Amino acid sequence: MTLAARIARLAPSPTLTLSATAKAMAAEGIDLVDFSTGEPAGDTPDHIKQAAIDALAAGHTKYTPVAGIPELKQAIIDTFARDQGLHFDPADILVSCGAKHSLYLAAQALLDPGDQVIIPSPYWVSYPDIVRLAGGAPIILPITAANGGTLDPDHLAAALTPRTKALILNSPCNPTGAIIPADTLDAIAHLARRHPLTIITDDIYRRLVYDHTPCPSLATLAPDLADHTLIINGVSKTYAMTGWRIGYAAGPRDVIAAMTAIQSQSTSNPTSIAQHAALAALRSGPEFTAALVRHLDTNRRTLVHALNTIPGITCPLPAGAFYAWPDITPLLGTTHPRGRIHTAADLAAHLLRDHHLATIPGDPFGSPHHLRLTYTPAHDIIDKGITRLRQAIKALT
């Protein structure tokens, strides 16, 4: 059978593939330490589960409005107003099947063939594929320690072309945890006022920040760009609801209407029961997320401190999200009994196969010199993983 040409432009999500391998190994009874997943380790809070059970019992089992049930849209509007001082109407909001789906719909709604989308690197693995699937061209803009570990507005200005359609911002960033500072956002806004540009701001980790570090938002700093700013968020990470598949977009009404039309012809609506659960999540008090952040903060410090004591590894303390992003450059070129480590992918494969430690190589995030380690597991698992990593690295020659 001949597949559509767009399939040739698509790579299956490498993080989901690796996490599936890790879960399969654990299911076989292998004592695996899993630092690969992109989700909180704990279960969805009980009051959110109960809301889903109540929704089932109340018969909320039918199609819903395409863009989401009105109560959930209102809870999203209230959340934006409370957390970011942003004001939206229901027509500015689309609820979809996860933030990833919102990003997919945005790309489908905005991009014509050849339209360029600037993606600062390191980037979340799915951005380039989502852009390519829509016929767009991802333009990768490297961020290095030399530009302070954040997006350099001068580099961004140099990357703009007549074909540039959009810029994707992700703060805090998966995989680095970096938060884009306000002065950088101001400079980006300055550029966006002179160049027609849609700014897609993926804020999925914005509630998961440490040390009370402010997480400024372009939408708040540059309200005059509201017609060019699309915010993506969701409940997956903040409320341990990755499996429920509820995300949302807020922004220009014409873009939201276009995304809604695509949703109407694809998924019809996000699952009715999950929407009621998301409603309970957004209406919850701050306790669950505050406890999650405290747990993650302890793990973050433990893991990053330990990583920096392993020869060949250096790791900055991430400001947000739940990933450590160690630089493993000095380990490239070393060997283990079965072969040589040329890239982070080789190291991750060795750690998984020979030490039963699942990590994600930096290659699909734009860097073959890094690993990504999720620090959501329980403290004892973090300690066990560090011990395995230390032994594995010590044995390299």
Ligand X SMILES: Cc1ncc(COP(=O)(O)O)c(C=O)c1O
Nearer to ligand X, 75 or 99 (CB): 99
Contact range with ligand X by CB under 6 A, out of 97-105, 145-153, 186-194, 206-214: 97-105
| Residue 247 binds ligand X (CB under 6 A) | yes
| Residue 259 binds ligand X (CB under 6 A) | no
Nearer to ligand X, 124 or 288 (CB): 124
Nearer to ligand X, 64 or 334 (CB): 64
Query: Contacts with ligand X in 151-170 (CB under 6 A)?
Result: 170
Query: Contacts with ligand X in 267-306 (CB under 6 A)?
Result: none
Chain centre distance of CA 93 = 20
Tokens of 315: 């790791």
Nearest distance, CB of residue 357 and ligand X, angstroms: 20
What is the size of the binding site for ligand X (CB under 6 A)? 13
Nearer to ligand X, 172 or 368 (CB): 172
Backbone torsion region of residue 394, taken as left when φ is above 0, otherwise alpha when ψ lies between -120 and 50, otherwise beta? alpha
Asked whether 346 and 339 are in contact (CB, 8 A), the reply is: yes
| Residue 64 binds ligand X (CB under 6 A) | no
Nearer to ligand X, 156 or 241 (CB): 241
Nearest distance, CB of residue 264 and ligand X, angstroms: 19
Asked whether 38 and 24 are in contact (CB, 8 A), the reply is: no
Per-residue interface string for the shown chain with ligand X, residues 109-138, x marking contact by CB under 6 A: ---------------x--------------
User: Applying CB under 6 A, which of residues 19, 32, 34, 38 lies at the interface with ligand X?
Assistant: 38
Contact range with ligand X by CB under 6 A, out of 93-101, 192-200, 329-337, 353-361: 93-101
Contact range with ligand X by CB under 6 A, out of 26-34, 63-71, 95-103, 307-315: 95-103
| Residue 204 binds ligand X (CB under 6 A) | yes
Nearer to ligand X, 174 or 299 (CB): 174
Contact range with ligand X by CB under 6 A, out of 50-58, 86-94, 96-104, 306-314: 96-104
Nearer to ligand X, 244 or 306 (CB): 244
SS3 labels along the chain: CCCCHHHHCCCCCHHHHHHHHHHHHHHCCCCCEECCCCCCCCCCCHHHHHHHHHHHHCCCCCCCCCCCCHHHHHHHHHHHHHHHCCCCCHHHEEEECCHHHHHHHHHHHHCCCCCEEEEEECCCCHHHHHHHHCCCEEEEEECCHHHCCCCCHHHHHHHCCCCEEEEEEECCCCCCCCCCCHHHHHHHHHHHHHCCCEEEEECCCCCCECCCCCCCCHHHHCHHHHHHEEEEEECCCCCCCCCCCCEEEECCHHHHHHHHHHHHCCCCCCCHHHHHHHHHHHHCCCHHHHHHHHHHHHHHHHHHHHHHCCCCCECCCCCECCEECCECHHHCCCEECCEECCCHHHHHHHHHHHHCEECEECHHHCCCCEEEEECCCCHHHHHHHHHHHHHHHHCCC
User: Applying CB under 6 A, which of residues 32, 55, 67, 99 lies at the interface with ligand X?
Assistant: 99
| Residue 234 binds ligand X (CB under 6 A) | yes
For tokens 């390299």, the residue is 396
Nearer to ligand X, 100 or 132 (CB): 100
Nearest distance, CB of residue 129 and ligand X, angstroms: 13
Tokens of 102: 């919102």
Query: Contacts with ligand X in 333-362 (CB under 6 A)?
Result: none
Nearest distance, CB of residue 174 and ligand X, angstroms: 4
Nearer to ligand X, 202 or 346 (CB): 202
Site residues, ligand X (CB under 6 A): 38, 98-100, 124, 170, 174, 202, 204, 234, 236, 242, 247
